[in-house]
Amino acid sequence: MTKNTVIDFAKPSDFSPDPLTDLLRAGAQELLATAVRAEVSEFMGGHAHLLDDEGRQRLVRHGFLPEREVMTGIGKVAVQVPRVRDRGENPDGSKVRFNSSLVPPYLRKAKSVEELLPWLYLKGISTGDFSEALASLVGPDADGLSASTITRLKSTWWEEYEAWRKRDLTAKRYVYIWADGVYFNPRLDDDRQCMLVIIGADEYGDKDVLGIMDGFRENADSWRDLLRSLQKRGLTIAPDLACGDGALGFWTALRDVYPTTKEQRCWVHKMANITGAMPKPLHEKAKAGLQDIWMVATKKEAVVAFDLFVETYGVKYERAVKKLTKDRNVLLTFYDFPAEHWKHIRTTNPIESVFATVRNRTRKTKGCLSRKTALSMVFKLMMSAKKKWRKLSGTNRLPEVIQGVEFKDGIKQLQNAA
């Protein structure tokens, strides 16, 4: 057996040219040039009615802007944007100007590459390894995408977050909200801090991130500050239902700010809390018993399964069963809402799935996270994740929920004739 077990891999700078990539890049360059020319022709056609003092068309082609290279997912692609000249002027003295929507002024990186940078960082690539990682992805000519780029990006993320958290919320009516908090490992500078997040579903079934802020151990004051911030920025009509775990701070704050909002405890959190207080060999059986409560079709059946679980485990595992019984009513609230919405409103999964990525990134981070870094990371991840969120099922039921139509076991109840 040889002692040399180290395998030498080619460094990014040693990669040989890829004929397929070269062909794709050449095709992309030609396609981009054709698309930009078509864009200019359409622009000029839309302004063909504009004439100068001599009766000629005001807009004419006037050569090209200087060639520049745009970094894309297949490497650099050269592009020249045609220049358009206006031979006249508008009544206010201004001129018509052409700016390509495909290749805006000063664009140096395609949007896909811009989005790649934060994801590489948030997924755990250290700033020192960026050059090699990017060279492997977009080719050895990935200059300008260095570790310093991430430093600038992190500063930009914070500015984006600051602007986002002050935005107006009056344009939409939010029917459901989900709330949860996350603690990081490694911890924040202050180990009492966590990230508080609220997601909402509007009257059209679209989900959006409503609020993100740092709080102290999810206490009522922190949640109250976040909810009042939403209220101040336009969320004046109380959501019809809120879903969250059993953290007392959120529910205390909710009753203060939106006292008419109904409460639904998250079944995923509840099952984890209950089984965590029971011996591991019983976990699977206990989970099946709990699923028999919230997966049945009617509230009556759920009550029967609820009582059976209490009777089965109450004597030997009183502490675990008490975690269930203390929230008996608010665990079954969803039965009073459309059945099409049950899979959405029984858990806080929309938040948990994003937090899983945050935790994965912070496990790779040495030392404690600063407040700004943690907030910026959560903000960027949530903004990226929401692009993939699906609309609520049964969007036609949302107006009925807003109007206060009664639902029993998920079915709309017909009003008695007068």
Domain residue extents for the chain: 16-107, 112-164, 174-402
**Do residues 270 and 305 lie in contact, with contact meaning Cβ atoms separated by under 8 Å?**
no
Q: What is the pLDDT of residue 326?
A: 94
Q: Which long-range contacts (CB under 8 A, 24 or more apart) does 127-130 make?
A: 127/151
**Do residues 242 and 214 lie in contact, with contact meaning Cβ atoms separated by under 8 Å?**
no
Q: What is the pLDDT of residue 156?
A: 81
Q: Phi, psi (5° rounding) for residue 407?
A: -120, 140
Which residues make Cβ contacts (< 8 Å) with residue 7, sequence separation at least 6? none
**Do residues 97 and 81 lie in contact, with contact meaning Cβ atoms separated by under 8 Å?**
no
At 300-342, the pLDDT tens digits run: 999 999 999 999 999 999 999 999 999 999 999 999 999 999 9
Partnered with residue 61 across adjacent β-strands are 84
Confidence of residue 12 (pLDDT cuts 50, 70, 90): very low
Q: What is the pLDDT of residue 218?
A: 73
At 249-299, the pLDDT tens digits run: 899 999 999 999 999 999 999 999 999 999 999 999 999 999 999 999 999
Q: What is the DSSP secondary structure assignment for residue 171, as one 8-state letter?
A: T
The closest of 102, 69, 99 to 84, measured between CA atoms, is: 99
At 116-165, the pLDDT tens digits run: 555 555 555 555 555 555 554 455 555 545 556 666 667 788 889 999 99
Between 153 and 368, the higher pLDDT residue: 153
Which amino acid is residue 101, in one-letter code?
A: S
Q: What is the pLDDT of residue 390?
A: 87
**Do residues 145 and 117 lie in contact, with contact meaning Cβ atoms separated by under 8 Å?**
yes
Tell me how far the alpha carbon of residue 118 is from its chain's centroid: 14
At 75-93, the pLDDT tens digits run: 676 777 888 989 888 888 8
Q: What is the DSSP secondary structure assignment for residue 269, as one 8-state letter?
A: H
Print the SS3 string covering 321-385: HHHHHCCCHHHCHHHHCCHHHHHHHCCCHHHHHHHHHHHHHHHCCCCCECHHHHHHHHHHHHHHH
Please state, in angstroms and rounded to a whole number, the distance separating the CA atoms of residues 238 and 260: 7
DSSP assignment of 103-129 equals S-TT--B-HHHHHHHHHHHHTT--GGG
Confidence of residue 97 (pLDDT cuts 50, 70, 90): confident
Q: What is the pLDDT of residue 11?
A: 46
Q: What is the mean pLDDT of the chain?
A: 80
Please state, in angstroms and rounded to a whole number, the distance separating the CA atoms of residues 323 and 270: 8
Q: What is the pLDDT of residue 227?
A: 96
- pLDDT above 80 for 41: yes
Q: Model pTM?
A: 0.69
Confidence of residue 37 (pLDDT cuts 50, 70, 90): confident
Mean pLDDT, rounded, for 9-16: 46
Confidence of residue 32 (pLDDT cuts 50, 70, 90): low
The closest of 148, 53, 38, 158 to 102, measured between CA atoms, is: 38
**Coil/strand/helix, residue 346:** coil
Q: What is the pLDDT of residue 10?
A: 46
Please state, in angstroms and rounded to a whole number, the distance separating the CA atoms of residues 301 and 296: 6
At 204-256, the pLDDT tens digits run: 999 999 999 988 777 899 999 999 999 999 999 999 999 999 877 899 999 99
| 28-32, 123-127, 167-171, 301-305: segment of lowest average pLDDT | 123-127
Partnered with residue 243 across adjacent β-strands are 178, 264
